[in-house]
Amino acid sequence: MRIVLGVSAGIAAYKACELLRLLTEAGHRVRVVPTPAALNFVGAATWAALSGQPVEVSPWESVHEVPHVRLGQEADLVIVAPATADLLARAATGMSDDLLTAVLLTARCPVIFAPAMHTEMWEHPATRANVTTLRDRGAIVLDPASGRLTGQDSGPGRLPEAAELFAVAQRVLARGAAALVPDLAGRRVLVSAGGTREELDPVRYLGNWSSGRQGYALARTAAGRGAQVTLVAANTGLPDPAGVRVLRATSAADLREVMLAEAGTADAIVMAAAVADFRPAVRSDSKIKKSGAEPDPIILAENRDIVRDLVAARRRPGQVIVAFGAETGDMLANGRAKLARKGCDLLVVNQVGNGLAFGTADNEATVLGADGVEVKLPRAPKDEIADAIWDVVAARLR
């Protein structure tokens, strides 16, 4: 695929070097188009050496090739990382005073902006208006990550890690022409991921094998389809997906509290987390030690069903609620019973155990609908499974 990697003048430009490496190693032909000021952070020689392509910043270079038109016309994807407040403003107003902004006007392929700037700049009404304008035109503008910024400052405005930006780019390319109209643009989605932990004592817990990969894939692909995504992560250890707001939870009770607090503004809720059905009825305040005698039995108490509580609390018209069902027996029969019991709109049911689903890079599932719809998803990487699930959800949101 032919990719234009735009780089604007922010300190995070050095991270784009790693993104460039990932894109070229995946077999893509990448043309780096920095703004003139971006060369103050990373020089043209670095971009040329890493990409194997010439580097130009002005439409007056290589005029015979008409680069300001040709690059945009031929690209399969344009990704700008970092996208500064200045670049977003110029793109939103249609300025074309350098090669990169000219390419943005001529591109007829999907365009991704990965903003990076100080928190105050990201939160300024002018920047927010420019982001809204670009999103309304069909561009994918990822929300920045939160973390350490220049100097001692910290907060929203950090460029997501290169590996996560690469993952978004790959999914957008995989969707082809469908990515030209981000079908989740303007939608707010809430996704849970990972496995909850129920404490026995200060050092032990009851848990499960969920890695959180499927939930993270759902969050990542939703962001790549234009959604504003909140991910509630339970004990995953995975890097934050690009363009996603991440909240943390530990136990089933924690997860329930956060999900119910966030659910009111969501157009779609996907409960991909593996939630413990039970917790110890009593938690020891000190470590349980061997005594030579038979240990006391662990008495379990049942946790609340978070999906049923979300359904009961639903007040937003048209909200789509999706649950997951991990099964070891008759998958479809158990799934249909669970769908009826929970009262949600869709249930994604999959076989687990013996090396299936938990901790793996791929998955296989069936989506069951309360209206009788049944969509089989053959074994595929989890990002592809996530996109297939969003296809079903997006159809219902329309």
Strands 29-34 and 2-7, by their bridges, are: parallel
Concerning whether 208 is annotated as a catalytic residue, the answer is yes
Identity at 122, one-letter amino acid code: W
Q: How far apart are CA 89 and CA 49, in angstroms?
A: 30
- Separation CA 168–CA 179 (nearest Å): 11
Q: Which of 40, 208, 235, 363 is catalytic?
A: 208
Q: Which residues of 70-105 are buried (b: 16+ CB within 10 A; e: fewer)?
A: ebbeebbbbbbbbbbbbbbebbbeeebebbbbbbbe
Tell me which residues are annotated as active site. Answer: 208
